[in-house]
Structures are given as structure tokens and as C-alpha cells.
Amino acid sequence: MNDTHHDSHDEWTDAQRAGRNAVRSLPVAEADPDFRAAMREQFVRGEFQKSARPARRAGGRRRAGRRIFTWAAPVAVAAALAIMIGVLNYSADWTVVHAAGTDYVMVDGARVPCDDLSPLQAAIQPGCRVQMPEGGQMEVVTDAMALQINGGTDVTIPTPPGRWFARTIDSDVLGDGTFRVATGPEFEGARYALHTEAATLEITGTAFSVMNSPGTVCICVLDGDVQAKLPDGSTRTIGPGGRLTLALDGSTIDAGSMRPGERDALTDLRERLVTASR
């Protein structure tokens, strides 16, 4: 064995031999007597096993970490997908396409000039309150519907219905003016609850107008049906081409055919919504 070992060393290069000699010349590190005594004492008392336990716990933590990862990763992916779907569900924001007949519009109590539509566009957000001065008119559209707000109207802008869920929306209309609404194909399957002083109107797809005047609310429907839920719990259906005039307590004043002027105005609003949606 020794001869074989010696012969292999004869095959070393000069650099290898020099490295070997340098290592051999290093001083031998002596164990600290106190350290050796402490190690011996731990061995006698069986404390080496205790010292090994933290390592096992660390291993357990690693295993727990792997277990956490196995469920945390899918949860993170699911959360990311939920956020992405939520973002994609949003419809387009309201776009101000027309404002005329006034120098300003009151939005949430502030005067917003409308000679340039940019400030007005920035101010119109879901949930904002719009008060239209006498003689003014503004139209806003989204993918699913168009709103026309005329002088004297006090209305809350609804949140556009979502594309797949959150498709029930609502708002209020007050004041003494005319508020017109037209829905398009993207509104299909959505619901709009419009709260007036005399009734809550439920819309699932139509074009209609609400004309507020002192003491009365008149609803004209171009197509589709509008359900008017009255304060006494009853419901009146206003069909295509119909009209219903209510007192503020919900009692019926008049019913019949829609006003000719409203037919023309709603037809025009509907056509412009369809054009804007293309």
C-alpha cells in the first residue's frame, strides 16, 4: 500500500508538491480545553440530542414552508385572476358628449365650466350629483346607456353596469326638469332602479323620460317596459308608447300615450347611442 502511495506521489508536478508541503507546514489547531470539557459534559448528560432538536424544528419549518407554498401559490394565482376579472368587468367610464345652453354645470355643489368639456369630463364620475341650470343640456354615454340631463334636473349619475356581474345600478332624479335615458344592447341583463319623488322606476332595457314638475312626475316610455313601484307597495307597468303621470304621493293623475315630443327626443337619443357604441 505504502509503495503504491509513494509511487503516485512521484507523478505529482512541482506545483502540487509545493502545495502539499505548504499545507503540511500549517500549525495544527489545538482544541480549546474548556470547549472539549463542555462537549464531553453535554455528551454525558445526553444534551447532544437536545441540541439536535432545533435542527429538526428548522427542518419542520422548511417542510411547513413548503406546505404553505403549496397552498399559497394557488391562492395568489386565484387572487390575481379575481383582480383581473374585476378590472375587466368594469364598463367604460361615462363620456360627456354634449353640453350646451349654459356656461357651467353644478357637480357636487361646485360650478364646473362647460365651454371646454375637459373640466366637465373630469368632474363627471359615478355617484356625483349633477344640477343642470335652466336652459342647459348635457349628454353622457357609456357602453350600455346614454343619459340626457336637461335644465332644472337634479340627478345622481349611476355607476355603469358591469359586463358580467354587478349589473344592478341605481340613482336618484329630482328637481323640475326632464331626464331622458336610452339603453343599448350592452345593457341586456342589467337592471336600473331610478328613484323619483313619486315612485321607483325599474328598467331592464328601454328608452324613457322622466319629466319632473312641481307636484307631479310624468314618465314616458318609447319601447320596452318600465315598472313603477309606488309608495303603497303596488306596481304600475308602463308599456311601449305609454305615459303615466303621478302625484308625489304616488297616486295616479293621468295615463295614456306618450307625448309626441318625447317620442322624437327619445328616438334621437337612442339612435345616437347606437352610433356611439359602434
Q: Give 199-233 pLDDT, tens digit per residue.
A: 999 999 999 999 999 999 999 999 999 999 999 99
Report whether CATH 2.60.120.1440 matches the domain 95-277.
yes
pTM strictly above 0.85 = no
Q: Cell digits for 58?
A: 428548522
pLDDT at residue 31 in the model: 46
Q: Give 23-67 pLDDT, tens digit per residue.
A: 455 554 454 556 455 544 544 454 444 334 444 444 445 555 555
pLDDT at 240 over 90: yes
- Better-predicted residue by pLDDT, 201 or 79: 201
16 pLDDT band, cuts 50/70/90, is low
- Better-predicted residue by pLDDT, 94 or 9: 94
Q: In what order do the strands lie in the sheet with 252-257?
A: 95-100, 137-141, 145-150, 178-183, 207-213, 216-223, 242-247, 252-257
- Better-predicted residue by pLDDT, 235 or 189: 235
pLDDT at residue 102 in the model: 96
- Domain boundaries of the chain, sorted by first residue: 33-89, 95-277
What's the rounded Cα separation, in Å, for the pair 127 and 105?
A: 16
What's the rounded Cα separation, in Å, for the pair 15 and 260?
A: 109
pLDDT at 268 over 60: yes
What's the rounded Cα separation, in Å, for the pair 251 and 239?
A: 18
pLDDT at residue 44 in the model: 40
- Better-predicted residue by pLDDT, 38 or 272: 272
One-letter-per-residue 3-state SS of the chain:
CHHHHHHHHHCCCHHHHHHHHHHHCCCCCCCCHHHHHHHHHHHHHCHHHHHHHHHHHHHHHHHHHHHHHHHHHHHHHHHHHHHHHHHHHCCCCCEEEEEECCCEEEECCEEEECCCHHHHHHHCCCCCEEECCCCCEEEEECCCEEEEEECCEEEECCCCCCCCCCCEEEEEEEECCEEEEEECHHHCCCEEEEECCCCEEEECCCEEEEEEECCEEEEEEEECCEEEECCCCCEEEECCCEEEEEECCCCEEEEEECCHHHHHHHHHHHHHHHHHHC
pLDDT at 69 over 90: no
- Is 89 in contact with 164 (CB distance < 8 Å)? yes
Q: Which whole number is the average pLDDT over 175-185?
A: 95
Of 60-69, 97-106, 139-148, 151-160, where does mean pLDDT reach its minimum? 60-69
What's the rounded Cα separation, in Å, for the pair 231 and 197?
A: 10
Mean pLDDT of the chain: 80
- Better-predicted residue by pLDDT, 251 or 33: 251
8 pLDDT band, cuts 50/70/90, is very low
- Is 194 in contact with 210 (CB distance < 8 Å)? yes
pLDDT at residue 10 in the model: 53
